[in-house]
Amino acid sequence: MSDPVRLKGVAASMGVAVGTARVLAWGRRRISFRRITQGQVASEIDRFRAAVAASHAEIEVARQELAQQHGATYASILDAYLLMHGDALLIDATCDTIREENINAEWAVSRVAERLKAPLLRDGSSYFRERARDVDHVKEHLLRELCGEDRTELPGQGPVVLIAHDLTPADAVQMLAPPTVGLVTEVGGGSSHTAILARTFGVPAVVGVGSVPIEIEDDQDVVVDGFGGQVIIGASRRERSQAEARRDRFLAFLDAERDRSAVTLDGTSISVAANMELPSELEAALASGADGIGLYRTEFMCLNRPEPPSEDEQLDIYRTIAAALAPSKVIFRTFDWRRDKRPAGFDMGEDQAGWLRTQIKAVLRASEWGHVALMFPMVATVRELLDAKILVEQCRSELGERGAPCASLQVGMMVEVPSAALMAEGFARHADFFAVGTNDLAHYTLAVDRHGNQASAGANPLDPAVLRLLERTVRAAGDAGIPCSMCGDMAAHPLALSLALGLGYREISVPIRLLPLARAVVRSVDIELAGPLAHDALSCESAEDVRLLVTDRMGEGFDPAWIRQEAV
């Protein structure tokens, strides 16, 4: 190909990679879907069960390798895939489909996988879309075994950039090691298990780039920009040279930042905590020097289960996290079942209300092992918050009757919908703390359809309407004397973070991989300049006006690589 191919996707793992392309054809195979006779049913079921056993063995080997390289906590990423290999919803349903519909195993696996994915995709939230990808990953392994495909090993020389439709976590364990230096996938998101593994292995990755032109071949020069979500295939010598310089500068930056604090130019100390959703991320959070966990998403525990884990199972996870981070604070967010609706946990059906009580009791018990706090998502009215606090006290009383010890526990709320920000003064009288989720707040404020493909382009937290809600929330918290943190994407973007500091935010929580960057940005900001800047931004008429204003006044203190990070 003569002209470079430029692709745009989701920046899933920070860094810059330069290497030669290695195109994986997985996911683009032609599968034989055929009818079978009644006499062939038994042998087809046997063939399917043999594929399940072989796939399970392959993933188990990958799990052991991951445990050896990065510890047992990281290996738990693959546990869900192993569980699915014994799940009746997949295994028994596939056998029944072969038997009842007289179709071959490949067809049955594909049909059952689509049925399992349907309710996850209907939910609309990014979390459940990623869980649908997990179903696809298991299907990929099974189809590979059924089709008799051999996984092609990487060449012995590098550096190599993998280009694939998708990469299952088990494949990632095998392939995100030298000579691989970068990853590009057509599908996927930043919270997928494969993306987490890319960050674990320190491999820059861009996912969700859409269809890659079929004429792209192995050995073409590729640049992967894990800051801006940009990929160049067929890069020129000049583009390679520039990318290599950025890569080396960023690696040196990471080495220099590991033990540095987050204090602004004028001496204001900022708390920079981490966002987590998997126990496997604990070691990375500790190694990065996070000031606690500002947002622990608990939904991952419901993956591929008909109901959440028991109280004791949850307690085991929560206390491990709390004890490891002590005395720093860990904030557990209750199950957020419907991220794109407005459910309050206390307004659920009977089963979900029971699950919530179980979770609250587990968090209360975990408070004995460290500094633990609990927060509720998507709270829209003061009455909902009050009901939530009543529920916590009821759970505490029930634990007391059982003789189960628990320490004091702060109860806070996410500020994610406009009504919560507009009523922040009222909420602040009852909440122990606020945590602002700028992603949802921007979407709801600007009436952007979260189900739309271009939703993120329209829901910009730099919009003055959103900024006014952010300012009102942090001001109300300050007047009431309660902490107010920011844990959405805005806290992880250099330009937006400088603005947030000017608005008055002194606590932020960002993805683990962005902790060094966030601390470096903090040290580049002078609060005496950021305050007036934020005040002026409130009078702007558009997000673009705000961006230009911040760039003009604060941009000189930023490394150019930061500005190129994916826009909020």
Same structural domain, 230 and 322: no
Give the CATH number for residue 236. 3.50.30.10
Specify if 166 maps to a domain.
yes
**DSSP code, position 156:** S
- State whether residue 466 is helix, strand or coil: helix
CA atoms of 97 and 105, how far apart (whole Å): 9
Sign of the alpha-carbon torsion through 360, 364, 366, 367? positive
Residues 211, 338, single domain; the answer is no
- 87, 117, 146: which is the final residue of a domain? 146
540 part of the active site: no
Residues 224 and 351 in one domain: no
Residues 438 and 354 in one domain: yes
> Looking at the structure, do residues 432 and 499 belong to the same domain, yes or no?
yes
| Nearest-angstrom CA–CA distance, 83 and 48 | 17
The tokens for 414 are 């996410």
Looking up residue 122, the CATH number of its domain turns out to be: 1.10.274.10
CATH of the domain at 335: 3.20.20.60
Token output for 541: 């008429």
Question: What is the enclosing helix (H) or strand (E) of 485?
Answer: strand 484-486
Domain-embedded: residue 568: no
Answer with the one of 146, 174, 202 that is the final residue of a domain: 146
Are both 233 and 305 inside the same structural domain? Answer: no
487 as an active site residue: the answer is yes
Task: State the pLDDT at residue 459.
Answer: 67
Same domain for 166 and 141, yes or no, is no
Range(s) of the domain holding residue 512: 258-563
Measured CA to CA in angstroms, residue 163 lies from 38, 115, 222 at distances of: 41, 28, 10
244 and 391 belong to one structural domain: no
* Whether residues 262 and 248 fall in one domain: no
Residues 50 and 182 in one domain: no
- Asked which of 122, 146, 170 is the last residue of a domain, the reply is 146
Give domain status of residue 428, yes or no: yes
| Residues 352, 303 share a domain | yes
Strand order in the sheet with 10-13: 5-8, 230-233, 221-225, 16-23, 160-164, 180-185, 205-207, 10-13
List 95, 484, 487, 540, catalytic entry: 487
Give the pLDDT of the chain (568 residues) as one tens digit per residue.
468 899 999 888 888 999 999 988 755 567 788 899 999 999 999 999 999 999 898 888 888 877 766 655 556 678 778 888 888 889 999 999 999 999 999 999 999 999 988 887 876 566 677 778 888 888 888 988 888 776 655 655 779 999 988 888 888 887 888 899 999 999 887 767 788 788 778 899 999 998 888 778 788 899 999 888 899 999 999 999 999 999 998 888 777 766 678 999 999 999 999 998 778 788 888 888 899 999 998 876 665 455 678 899 999 999 999 999 999 999 999 987 544 333 333 345 566 678 899 999 999 999 999 999 999 999 999 999 999 999 999 999 999 999 998 888 999 999 999 999 999 999 999 999 999 999 889 889 998 754 443 334 456 889 999 999 999 999 999 999 999 999 877 887 888 899 999 999 999 999 887 888 889 889 989 999 999 999 999 999 999 999 899 988 876 666 655 554 443 3
Closest CA to 103 of 34, 51, 40: 34
The active-site residue, picked from 193, 371, 443, 493, is: 193
pTM of the model: 0.69
**Torsion sign (Cα): 243, 244, 245, 250:** positive
If asked whether residues 441 and 294 sit together in one domain, one would say yes
In a domain, 485, yes or no: yes
Looking at the structure of the chain, the number of domains it has is: 3
Asked whether the beta carbons of 266 and 247 are under 8 A apart, the reply is: no
33 located within any domain: no
The length of the chain is: 568
